[in-house]
Structure 1
Amino acid sequence: MIDCAACPLQKRSMFLPFTPEEIVFMRAFKHGEATFQPGETLLSQGERSDRLFTVLEGFATRSIQLEDGRRQVVNFVFPGDFLGLQAGIMGEMRHSVQATTPMRVCVFQRSRLWDLFRDKPDRAYDLTWIAAVEEHFLGETIATLGQRDATERVAWALARIWQRLSALGLGTSDGVHLPFRQHELADALGLSTVHTSRTVSILRGMGLLVWKRGRLNMLDPERMFTLAGLPMEREERRPLI
């Protein structure tokens, strides 16, 4: 099991470093680690999970299953994301989390969440910050689905994903590894797979990107971000739990 002092995520510039006091607390707060293979479910909708996770490695999708069995992708999960807070606060998960790639996660006990609020107010504030960022992103997603056309939606999603993966230090000269497929992107954006594929081809024809063999290369980030209606700025540094 990785010691919190040697957490690999701490090497990534987008995350704020632990203080010595936080390392001591996190060592006691961390319950263990777990691995998941592609297609495995970390958290299930309607489940009263007793575990919370921080993603060390790998990617996943968040989705909601409707009463008639249809599945709606809500958003995507990246290294550093904290999972299960919804069940920790509301008693049960209102969405599911399914591994897209092999994953390794830190495991925390839900019953100890209150220890964090009682004993470490600075860590509790970090958790609140993470929840607030999630809420902001959800609002941005709703605005995208409601007000942007298909080209703008796809540009927005790919720009956001590219920005996050680049901030994680997962990019090279030929782009970033993009583990999500076009049908998952289409689902998250409320588009058909055919429409999404056609829109990606349009963006490619505009000289904005190359997406093939699981890699996304942004050829003209400034134009892409302008089309997406996003400011061209660095990802804000964020705390880790």
Structure 2
Amino acid sequence: MHRHESCILANLNRYLPLGDSDQQLLQELEKAPCHVTENQLLWSAGDKADQLYTIKSGWACTFRDHPDGGRQVVDVLLPGDVIGLRELTFAKHLSEARMICEGIVCPFPNHKIVDFIEESTPLMVALLASLARQESILTERMLIRANRDARSCIAHFIVETYTRLSRVRDTDIHSFSLPISQRILGEILGLTSVHISRSLTTLEKDRVLIKHRHHIEIIDPEKLFEEADFDGRYLSDDMNGLRERLKQHHQ
């Protein structure tokens, strides 16, 4: 994908074919791109929830702090995602949002979503589909954490990330961006740094993958998918007949 192309359009167009007017509405969200740095704060818990962001490049996360001083990452947001969509209907943010790495984001006021409801049914359905996938990722992660060992959890997250990236842009399974530290990976999966370090070491020793600082090198994709035992239905683009229903609605 070229730099000038819209990641959010590539993301939402997966669910429904968006027309010219829908694409113009999306372009409104990307009118004010700004460069953000690694670990830059986008908002704090308790801030007024009046602004969202689309991600053109880079990764972001939302997280909640624990009373004991730790934290749990809630969302990992990639190019094409909308940051803050989950908290759209709240007066104040429940979570904190930060960039994981540097990138380009486009802020826009939350009332733009209301405009979409009035102006474009397909675009609104596509946004709901994107939000539903975010929710399904959280559910899957909870189930994986409860039933898998650390090594399998890591393998599953890596395959999931590859799958999400490949839906928006061409992604090489043998080497792709993964700009997260072992600490953040532990906060995503609810695992200790010791578990993460040991598991990554054994995965490297067994010639499955090598985790570098900003990317992952997959040595044996077949073995990685086997370790992950990945069922990608929770990321499916299938809309269960809604595409056809919308076509009928607009005829």
> In 1, distance between residues paired with 2:168 and 2:25?
25
> In 2, distance between residues paired with 1:218 and 1:14?
28
For residues 116-143 of structure 1, what are the alpha-carbon distances to aligned partners after superposition, in whole Å with 9 as ceiling and x for unaligned?
A: 1122111111111111111111110100
Secondary structure of the residue aligned to 1:89 is coil
Instruction: Output the amino acid matched with 1:201.
Output: T
* CA-based RMSD: 2.8
> In 2, distance between residues paired with 1:121 and 1:13?
17
- In structure 1, the residue matched to 2:21 is 21
- In structure 1, the residue matched to 2:202 is 202
- In structure 2, the residue matched to 1:3 is none
User: Normalized against structure 2, the TM-score is what?
Assistant: 0.81
The within-5 A match list for 1:1-241 is 7-9=5-7, 15-16=13-14, 18-28=18-28, 32-169=32-169, 171-172=171-172, 175-231=175-231, 236=236
Instruction: Output the amino acid matched with 1:9.
Output: C
Measured after TM superposition, the shift of residue 24 of structure 1 is 2.8
Measured after TM superposition, the shift of residue 28 of structure 1 is 4.5
Cα distance 1:13–1:88, how it changes in 2: closer, same or farther (>3 A)?
A: closer
Measured after TM superposition, the shift of residue 49 of structure 1 is 2.6
| Number of residue-to-residue matches in the alignment | 233
> In 2, distance between residues paired with 1:142 and 1:173?
25
Measured after TM superposition, the shift of residue 212 of structure 1 is 2.5
Question: 69-78 vs 160-169, which deviates more?
Answer: 160-169
Secondary structure of the residue aligned to 1:198 is helix
Question: 183-192 vs 14-23, which deviates more?
Answer: 14-23
Secondary structure of the residue aligned to 2:32 is strand
Measured after TM superposition, the shift of residue 161 of structure 1 is 2.0
> In 1, distance between residues paired with 2:174 and 2:30?
36
Instruction: Output the amino acid matched with 1:45.
Output: A
Percent identity of equivalent pairs:
24
In the alignment, structure 2 segments of 5+ residues that lack a partner are 239-251
Measured after TM superposition, the shift of residue 166 of structure 1 is 4.1
The answer to whether the 8 A contact 1:162-1:176 is kept is: yes
For residues 170-189 of structure 1, what are the alpha-carbon distances to aligned partners after superposition, in whole Å with 9 as ceiling and x for unaligned?
A: 64586112210111111211
Moved over 6 A (4+): none
Measured after TM superposition, the shift of residue 222 of structure 1 is 2.2
The answer to whether the 8 A contact 1:15-1:237 is kept is: no
For residues 49-71 of structure 1, what are the alpha-carbon distances to aligned partners after superposition, in whole Å with 9 as ceiling and x for unaligned?
A: 32111100111222111244432
The answer to whether the 8 A contact 2:145-2:190 is kept is: yes
The answer to whether the 8 A contact 2:64-2:72 is kept is: yes
Instruction: Output the amino acid matched with 2:86.
Output: Q
The answer to whether the 8 A contact 2:55-2:82 is kept is: yes
Instruction: Output the amino acid matched with 1:7.
Output: E
User: Normalized against structure 1, the TM-score is what?
Assistant: 0.84
Secondary structure of the residue aligned to 1:139 is helix
For residues 138-194 of structure 1, what are the alpha-carbon distances to aligned partners after superposition, in whole Å with 9 as ceiling and x for unaligned?
A: 110100111111111111112222333344446458611221011111121121112
> In 1, distance between residues paired with 2:29 and 2:212?
41
> In 2, distance between residues paired with 1:24 and 1:118?
15
> In 2, distance between residues paired with 1:29 and 1:167?
20
> In 2, distance between residues paired with 1:161 and 1:42?
22
> In 1, distance between residues paired with 2:166 and 2:8?
15
Secondary structure of the residue aligned to 1:79 is coil
